[in-house]
């Protein structure tokens, strides 16, 4: 993992010995008496106290901790002197600047270098407050004979706020040494004095972990990736419950964010959880009684339907910059009314979706589903595959879908209608979900490699279908816009060109399918799939 686990003490020693401007930090014990400490310190060093300040420090990250996962943290400090943004990597400040307002998305960053650094990491995700700290800071400076500051020392009292409970908790006080570049000796002297002071312990520059742990959380407490641990001999119905519980947790985790429309990924992850749930219900055949599947499957299909329109519009909005970039420069701005149209539609669709989620149907579904997944399983279940070891079931289901994909793919030629590709895409999704559910049952590197091979084919099929749907929908939108006479003709012209470009790209994706499928179905890859999933009992010729 990132810097969070590295030896803090080593980090400090390195920073002191190298020519670094990074601060040094010490944590005080809970019963630490500050005044006698300051008195003693002033006897040893020519420290001058400046005015006390209060700082509200907010650690921001995306819901899925994209910055932290990359070894970075971003905090925004609000004080009398305004707002300051600090970007730290591996625990050390690598960018700090004044800002007018906190950035919510990566495109709100005005500093070009930082924006380009964070763009591929944050993508479309919003920065949300993950931890908030109120800090009272007593500031001291060490002046030399020229009254030049050669070292700064801050003593901070911190309280972490828990917005859910409306409470705050005291963290241990911290002492921060801020070296001034080019003045090493004072840092070494101060660091030594503090290190030798009874009770003080070296601490991380970043308070995020400490703050989260005070409110019972930890970093990386959400990820959209599935990490389900199963045992090969586990009963299939037990394993099924575990998988579905994971998916329900993901669904619930994203609900608040998608209701508030914090960013488009909440809805995306929510819908993925719904699709995976439907896929699990359909694919893990015979592990639950058929009436369970009948009771829940149609309701999850409904959940997929009511969230679909908002997601489609989110995708158009996310693609909008690419749409513009695909047009000749001179007419790019003509497309802007389409953005307003999409935005208005998205808002409306989102409202309707929230209304559906507010309905008793949704609440009942989640409650009943939750009850089912937490209920103890019968010792002698009626479902035929409930007691089958999950390894056997996983092998069998994956191998069967894989064979079906090979068969369907081979039947697709240059003139085959698009429906066949759509059908193939669905099968690929089923296979992908199964491989992800059961990852822990197979050697990590081998299953990851096969998922990657499958992804290559999925990307092509996905592009083909997405482009086709976009083409059709944009045509429908342009008809609507024309009838309502709400947009200038230039916009419709630009949309016409856009549709042309989408069509060109769709045909290109269609043209590439044969090669992509040939790669997926190569003898080498087939052998790899066979070796991993074709258990002896179920050997079939592909």
Partner 1 sequence: MRILATYSIKGGVGKTAAAVNLAYLAALDGAQTLVWDLDPQGAASFYFRIKPKVKGGGRKLIHRDRPIDDLIKGTDYDRLDLLPSDFSFRHLDLVLDQTKKPTRQMLSVLKPVADEYDYLFLDCPPNISLLSECVIEIADAIVSPVIPTTLSIRTLDQLTRFIEKNDCGNLEMMPFFSMVDRRKNLHREVIETLPEHCPNLLSALIPYASDIERMGIERAPLCSYSGKSRSAKAYRLLWDEIKRRLNDSRAVC
In angstroms, the CA 121 to CA 64 distance is 11
Task: Indicate the residue among 98 and 452 with the shorter CB distance to partner 1.
Answer: 98
**Between 146 and 540, CB nearer to partner 1:** 146
Asked if 36 contacts 196 with a C-beta cutoff of 8 angstroms, the reply is: no
In order of 299, 343, 403, 511, 520, the CA distances from 417 in angstroms are 31, 33, 21, 13, 21
Cross-strand partners of 93 = 88
Question: Minimum CB separation from partner 1 for residue 146, in Å?
Answer: 4
- Contact (CB, 8 A) for 317 and 477: no
Instruction: Categorise residue 14: left if φ over 0, alpha if ψ from -120 to 50, beta otherwise.
Output: alpha
Closer of 50 and 459 to partner 1 (Cβ) = 50
Give Cβ neighbours of residue 177 (< 8 Å, ≥ 6 apart): 23, 24, 25, 26, 151, 152, 153, 187, 190, 191, 194
Give the CA angle between residues 496, 311, 364 to the nearest 5°: 150
User: Minimum distance between the CB of residue 244 and partner 1, rounded to whole angstroms?
Assistant: 49
CA torsion 246-248-254-256 (nearest 10°) is: -140
- Least separation, in Å, of the C-beta of 23 and partner 1? 13
Q: 111 vs 195, which CB is nearer to partner 1?
A: 111
Q: Which residues bind partner 1 (CB under 8 A)?
A: 19, 21, 96-98, 111, 146-149, 179-183
Other CB atoms within 10 Å distance of the CB of residue 482: 14
CB of 85 or CB of 357, closer to partner 1: 85
DSSP codes of every residue in 263-283? -HHHHHHHHHHHHHHHHHHHH
Question: Which lies closer to partner 1 via its Cβ, residue 111 or residue 228?
Answer: 111
Between 144 and 489, name the residue whose CB sits nearer to partner 1.
144
- Please state the closest distance from residue 148 (CB atom) to partner 1, in A: 4
What are the C-alpha distances in Å from 196 to residues 180, 189, 193, 367? 22, 11, 5, 57
Cα gap 245→242, rounded to integer Å: 5
In whole angstroms, the minimum distance from the beta carbon of 142 to partner 1 comes to: 12
End-to-end CA distance of the chain: 41
Q: From the CB of 176, what's the least distance to partner 1, in Å?
A: 15
In the bound complex, what is the minimum distance in angstroms from residue 180's beta carbon to partner 1? 4
Nearest to 243 by CA among 266, 256, 226: 226
Residue 97 vs 347, nearer CB to partner 1: 97
**Nearer CB in complex with partner 1: 35/146:** 146
What's the closest the beta carbon of residue 111 comes to partner 1, in angstroms? Answer: 7
**CA proximity to 339, closest of 309, 314, 305:** 314
Least separation in angstroms between residue 96's CB and partner 1 is 7
**Bridge partners for 78 per DSSP:** 56, 83
């Amino acid at each position: 993992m990132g810097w969070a686990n590295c030896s803090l003490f080593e980090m400090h020693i390195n920073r002191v010995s190298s020519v670094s401007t990074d601060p040094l930090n010490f944590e005080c014990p809970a019963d630490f008496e500050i005044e006698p400490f300051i008195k003693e310190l002033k006897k040893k060093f020519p420290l001058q106290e400046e005015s006390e300040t209060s700082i509200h420090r907010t650690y921001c990250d995306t819901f899925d901790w994209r910055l932290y996962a990359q070894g970075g943290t971003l905090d925004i400090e609000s004080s009398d002197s305004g707002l300051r943004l600090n970007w730290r990597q591996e625990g050390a400040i690598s960018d700090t600047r004044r800002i007018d307002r906190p950035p919510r998305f990566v495109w709100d960053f005005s500093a070009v270098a930082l924006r380009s650094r964070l763009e591929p990491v944050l993508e479309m995700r919003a920065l949300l407050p993950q931890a908030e700290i109120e800090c009272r800071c007593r500031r001291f400076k060490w002046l030399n004979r020229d009254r030049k500051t050669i070292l700064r020392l801050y003593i901070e009292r911190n309280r972490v706020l828990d917005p859910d409970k409306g409470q705050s908790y005291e963290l241990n006080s911290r002492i921060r040494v801020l070296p001034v570049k080019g003045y090493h000796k004072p840092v070494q002297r101060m660091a030594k004095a503090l290190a030798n002071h009874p009770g003080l312990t070296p601490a991380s520059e970043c308070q995020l972990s400490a703050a989260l742990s005070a409110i019972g959380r930890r970093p990386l407490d959400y990820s959209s990736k599935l990490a389900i641990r199963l045992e090969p001999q586990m009963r299939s119905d037990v394993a099924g419950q575990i998988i579905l519980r994971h998916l329900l947790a993901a669904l619930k985790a994203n609900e608040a964010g998608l209701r508030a429309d914090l960013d488009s990924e909440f809805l995306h992850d929510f819908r993925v959880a719904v699709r995976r749930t439907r896929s699990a219900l359909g694919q893990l055949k015979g592990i639950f009684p058929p009436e369970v599947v009948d009771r829940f499957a149609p309701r999850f299909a409904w959940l997929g339907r009511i969230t679909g329109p908002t997601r489609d519009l989110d995708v158009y909005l996310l693609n909008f910059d690419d749409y513009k970039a695909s047009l000749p420069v001179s007419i790019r701005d003509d497309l802007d009314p389409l953005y307003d149209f999409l935005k208005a539609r998205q808002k409306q669709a989102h409202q309707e979706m929230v209304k559906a989620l507010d309905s008793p149907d949704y609440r009942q579904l989640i409650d009943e589903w939750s009850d089912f997944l937490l209920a103890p399983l019968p010792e002698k279940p009626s479902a035929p595959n409930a007691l089958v070891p999950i390894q056997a079931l996983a092998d069998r289901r994956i191998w069967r879908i894989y064979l079906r994909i090979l068969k369907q793919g081979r039947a697709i030629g240059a003139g085959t209608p698009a429906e066949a590709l759509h059908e193939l895409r669905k099968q690929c999704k089923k296979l992908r979900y199964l491989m992800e559910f059961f990852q822990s049952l197979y050697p990590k590197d081998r299953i990851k490699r096969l998922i990657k091979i499958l992804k290559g084919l999925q990307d092509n099929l996905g592009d083909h279908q997405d482009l086709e749907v976009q083409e059709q929908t944009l045509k429908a939108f342009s008809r609507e816009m024309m009838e309502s006479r709400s947009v200038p003709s230039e916009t419709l012209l630009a949309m016409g060109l856009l549709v042309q470009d989408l069509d060109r790209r769709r045909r290109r994706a269609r043209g590439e399918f044969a090669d992509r499928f040939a790669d997926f179905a190569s003898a080498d890859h087939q052998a790899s799939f066979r070796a991993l999933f074709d258990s002896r009992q179920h050997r079939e010729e592909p």
